[in-house]
A and B are shown apart, each in its own frame.
Chain A
Amino acid sequence: MAESSKRTLFDKIWNSHVVDTLPDGTCVLYIDRHIIHEVTTPQAFEGLRAAHRPVRRPEATIAVVDHNIPTTDRSQGIDEPDSRLQIETFEANVAEFGVPYFPYTDPRQGIVHVIGPEQGMSLPGMTIVCGDSHTSTHGAMGALAFGIGTSEVEHVLATQTMLQKPSRNMRITVDGQVGPGVSGKDLILAIIGQIGAAGGTGHVIEYAGEAIRALDMAGRMTVCNMSIEAGARAGLIAPDEKTYAYIKGRPHAPHGEAFEQALAWWRTLPSDEGALYDREVHLDAATIAPMVTWGTSPEDVLAITGRVPLLESAADGAAREALARKFDYMGITPGTPLAEIGVDVVFIGSCTNSRIEDIRAAAAIARGRKVAPGVRALVVPGSGLVKQQAESEGLDRILTEAGFSWREAGCSMCIGMNPDKVAPGERCASTSNRNFEGRQGPGARTHLLSPAMAAAAAITGHLTDVREFL
C-alpha cells in the first residue's frame, strides 16, 4: 500500500465532506452541524433577509444564548439594554427562519460548546461549525469542528457549506501517565507553552498518546477547546470506546439500529497506522506539573512551582518591551514565585471547564474548607443540565458552604459581556481559556488554571499547588 493512501482522521472527515472542488483547490465543504448564538449572528440573519435567502437546513442548526445572559436569576428577563436587544433580536431571527432554539429558561440551555456534545448533537466524523473560536472543543468527539466569523455563519446558514482549503495535519502525542493533580487543562497549557500561541497556525491538531487516551471526555474537550489558543483552528481526538459510551443514549444521538450503523462508520475514522503528518510534537506526561499562566497570552505559562520570568529572558528590544508591558498590566514583579501571587476573584466555568467532571474536581478540593476572606469565588455550570446533575450530587451545597457563589449556566466571567466581570486591577484565577488584556473586563488580570487549581487558590487566597491538598 502506498504511503499516500494512509489517511489521518482529519483527511477522512475532510474527504467525506467535499461537495465540489474549485480549480484552485478550494473545496465546497459540507457542514453537518451549525450551532449559533446571540453575539455573532445578527448581521448574518440581516444579510439573509436582505438577499431573500432562507436557512437551507434549519434542522441541522441549533440556537442557544450564552455570551450575554446574566448567571443570576433571569426569570424576570435581562436587565442590560444592549444585551436584551441582542437576545431579543436573536429570538426573533430564529423564530423567523425556523431554527430550533433552547431559550434561557430551558434546562437544556448552556454554553454552545457544552450543549453540543451533551445533547448528542456533536458526533464523530461530523463537520461542526459555530461563530465562536472555541468550536474546536467538539473535536474531542472525533469531529472536525472549527470557529467561523459572521460572514461564514451567513454562508453556512444559506448553503450548509463552507468554502475552504484543507489544513495541514499536526499530531501532538503526549506519552506516559500524568501525576496526581494534573488534568486535561494542565496538558493543554503545557502544550501551548511548548509550541506557542501561533504554533498550530494553519494546522489541525490531532492529540494522541497514552495520556490523551486516559482522559475522560470532559478532559478531552478541555484539551481540544484550547487548540485555538495554540493557533490551530481545530483540534481532534480519535473516537474510541469512551467516546461511544459517552454518546450512547444522548437525546439527539442515533438510537438502536441507527446507532449500530453509525458506530460501524465511526470505527473506521481513526488515523491509519503510518499516516503522515506535516508536523509531529511529543511531550512526556510525567514531566507535566499543574500549570498556571502569568502573562497576557496563553503561551505565558509555567508550572505552579515556577517563578515569573526575568526581563533579561527577552530575546531582543521589542520582546523586552512586550514583556515589560505584560508585567505592568499584570501587576507582577519579575522573579516572583507563582505560588506567592494573591488573587481577588476565582472563576470556575466557561466552555473549557464547566462540565460535571470539572465541578466535581472543584468540589473535591472545596469540601469542608472555606474560601479565603476577601476572595470572591463563583462556579458557573456550563449548562442547565450540568447544574441539575451537580445539584443532584450535592456539589452545589459543598461549594456554597465553602463560600462559592453557585450560578445559572452561561459564559459568565470568561468574557466581559454580561454582568460577571473582574474589576480593573483585580486578579482572577480562572478556568477559562484566554488571559488577554481586558478579556474578563477592562484592566482585569487573569491567571488560567484547572478547576482543582482554581478551587485551591480560592481556599488559600493565592495561586497554589493543588498537590498540597491531595
Chain B
Amino acid sequence: MQPFTKLTGVAAALPISNVDTDKIIPARFLKIITRAGLGKGLFDPLRYRPDGSEEPGFVLNREPYRHAKILIAHENFGCGSSREHAPWALMDFGISCVIAPSFGDIFFNNSMKNGLLPIRLPREICDLLMADAAQGDNARLTIDLHAQVVVRPNGEEIHFEMDPLRKHLLLNGLDDIGQTLQHAPAIDRYETARQAAQPWFPTTTLTDPAP
C-alpha cells in the first residue's frame, strides 16, 4: 500500500449527503479482475450525460478541479455497498483524501486499506472548507497526517481525530495482513481451543448431498 504522509492539492466540493457507492462507481464498472483504470467511471452518473458527453456543471469536469486531490462532501459519504472499487476509483482519478461529517462504515475501512485518507470533521467545518475550495487554484489545502491537521489556505490548522493503529499503518504504507500474521500463534491457539470446546462448529465439504 502507498504510504500517506502529507498531501497538498486542489480540493473539490461535493455538497451532497448520502453519496452512495453506486454513485461513486456504478456496478457495471465492477466487472474487472484488477484494480486499475476505474478512474474513468468515477461518479459516472454525475459526471457524464446519458449520451456519454461530460456534464459541464459537475465539479470534477471544471478547472482546476479536474486535478483535485481532495474531496469535501456532506454526511454519510460512501454509504451502500462494500465495493472496494469505490476507493480504487477515487485513487485512480487522483483523489486520496475525502473530508466529510460522516462516512459509510465499510467505505471508511476500505479507504484506509488503500492509502486513501477519510477525515471526519463537523458539518460547519466541511462547509468552511467548501468555501475555501470555491477559490479554486488559489486555495490549496494541506493534509498532514503525522500532525493530524488540515491546513486551510489562510494557514489555519484544523485538527482531526485518527485511530492510532490506522495512522501507523497509513504513515508507513503497511498492509493489515502482515500486522495480523504477527498474531499467528494466537490464531493457532484459538483454533485448537475452539475445536476442543465446540467440535460441532461446521466445515464445508461438498460431498454433502443436496437436501
Instruction: Please report which residues of chain B, range 22-71, place their CB below 8 angstroms from some CB of chain A when the two chains form the complex.
Output: 22-23, 26-28, 30-35, 44-45, 50
Q: Is A10 an interface residue (CB 8 A)?
A: no
Asked if B5 is an interface residue, CB under 8 A from chain A, the answer is no
In the complex, are the beta carbons of A108 and B210 less than 8 A apart? yes
- When the two chains form their complex, are residues A59 and B205 in contact, meaning their CB atoms are under 8 A apart? yes
Contact between A385 and B82 (Cβ–Cβ < 8 Å)?
no
Minimum Cβ distance to chain B for residue A137 (Å): 13
B140 within 8 Å of A by Cβ? no
CB distance from B20 to the nearest CB of A (A): 5
Partner-binding segment picked from B90-98, B131-139, B147-155, B194-202: B194-202
B interface residues (Cβ-Cβ under 8 A, vs A): 15-18, 20, 22-23, 26-28, 30-35, 44-45, 50, 74-76, 79-84, 102-106, 109-110, 113-114, 163-165, 175-177, 179-181, 183-184, 186-187, 190-191, 194, 198-206, 208-211
Q: For B177, what are the chain A residues with a Cβ–Cβ distance below 8 Å?
A: 51, 53, 154-155, 158-159
Contact A86 B31 (CB under 8 A): yes
Q: Which residue of B lies closest to A26 (CB)?
A: B165
Please, what's the 1-or-0 string for A37-79, where 1 marks a CB less than 8 Å from any CB in chain B? 0011011001000010100110111100000100000000000
Is the C-beta of A24 less than 8 angstroms from some C-beta in chain B? yes
Cβ–Cβ contact A322 & B16, under 8 A = yes
Say whether chain A's binding surface is mostly helix, strand, loop, or mixed: loop
A439 to B33, CA, bound (A): 21
Binds B, one of A259-267, A391-399, A451-459: A259-267
Q: B173: shortest Cβ distance to chain A, in Å?
A: 13
Known: A159-B181, A252-B208. A231 touches B198 (CB 8 A): no
Q: Which residues of B contact A297 (CB under 8 A)?
A: 18, 20
Task: Give every chain B residue within 8 A of A152 (Cβ-Cβ).
Answer: 109-110, 113
Write out the residue numbers on chain A whose beta carbons fall within 8 Å of the beta carbon of B186. Answer: 19-20, 28
The residues of A that contact B106 with a CB separation of less than 8 Å are: 133, 147-149, 228, 233
Q: Is the CB of B164 within 8 A of A62?
A: no
26 sample A-B contacts, Cβ–Cβ < 8 Å, listed by A number: A24-B164, A30-B187, A30-B194, A40-B84, A43-B33, A51-B177, A61-B204, A100-B206, A123-B202, A135-B82, A149-B83, A152-B110, A155-B176, A159-B177, A159-B184, A163-B176, A163-B180, A197-B76, A197-B79, A198-B76, A201-B105, A254-B202, A259-B200, A415-B27, A416-B28, A442-B50
A159-B187, A297-B18, A322-B16 given; A121·B202 CB < 8 A: yes
Residues of A contacting B103 with CB < 8 Å? 201
Chain B, Cβ-Cβ closest to A19: B190
Given A152-B110, A152-B113, 7 other A-B residues pairs in contact with their CB atoms under 8 A:
A42-B33, A228-B80, A253-B202, A258-B200, A416-B27, A438-B23, A443-B50
User: Closest CB of chain B to A388's CB: distance in Å?
Assistant: 9
CB pair B80 A434 closer than 8 Å: yes
Nearest chain A CB to B180's CB is how many angstroms away? 5
Within the complex, the shortest CB–CB distance from A130 to chain B, in Å, comes to 8
The residue of chain B having its C-beta at the shortest distance from the C-beta of A101 within the complex is: B206
Please give, as numbers and ranges, the residues of chain B lying within 8 Å of A121 by CB-CB distance.
202, 204
Contact with B along A244-286 (1 / 0, CB 8 A): 0000011111100011011001000000000000000000000
Q: Could you tell me the distance between the alpha carbons of A155 and B179 in the complex, rounded to whole angstroms?
A: 10
- Contact across chains for A442 and B204 when beta carbons are under 8 A apart: no
Bound-state Cα–Cα, A454 to B76, Å = 29
> Are A133 and B82 in touch, CB under 8 angstroms?
yes
With the chains together, A132 CA to B82 CA distance in Å? 5
Contact of A385 with B211 at beta-carbon distance under 8 Å, contacts A148-B82, A149-B82, A261-B198 already known: yes
Contact B79 A231 (CB under 8 A): yes
Cross-chain contact B180 with A107 (CB below 8 angstroms): no
Given A231-B79, A385-B210, A434-B22, A160:B198 Cβ within 8 A: no
Say if the beta carbon of A2 comes within 8 Å of chain B. Answer: no
Residues of A within 8 A of B105 (CB): 201-202, 231-233
CA distance A150 to B175 in the complex (A): 13
- In whole angstroms, how far apart are the Cα atoms of A62 and B202 in the complex? 12
Asked if B187 contacts A68 (CB within 8 A), the reply is no
With A20-B183, A159-B177, A318-B15 given, is the CB distance from A82 to B31 under 8 Å? yes
A357 at the interface (CB under 8 A from B): no
* The one of B26, B74, B210 that contacts A318, using a Cβ cutoff of 8 Å: B74
Q: Which residue of A lies closest to B36 (CB)?
A: A43
User: Within the complex, what minimum Cβ distance (angstroms) separates B51 from chain A?
Assistant: 11
A66 to B76, CA, bound (A): 28
Per the 8 Å Cβ criterion, residues 379-431 of A in contact with B are 385, 415-417, 424
Question: Are B180 and A28 in touch, CB under 8 angstroms?
Answer: yes
Contact for A89 among B15, B23, B33, B114, CB less than 8 A: B33
Residues A439 and B176 in contact in the complex (CB < 8 Å), given A108-B210, A149-B106, A254-B200? no
Given contacts A83-B31, A158-B181, are A60 and B104 in contact (CB under 8 A)? no
A181 sits at the interface (CB 8 A):
no
Return the CB mask of A188-211 against B: 1 if under 8 Å, else 0.
Answer: 000000000110011000000000
Contact B50 A32 (CB under 8 A): no
Q: Is the CB of B30 within 8 A of A417?
A: yes
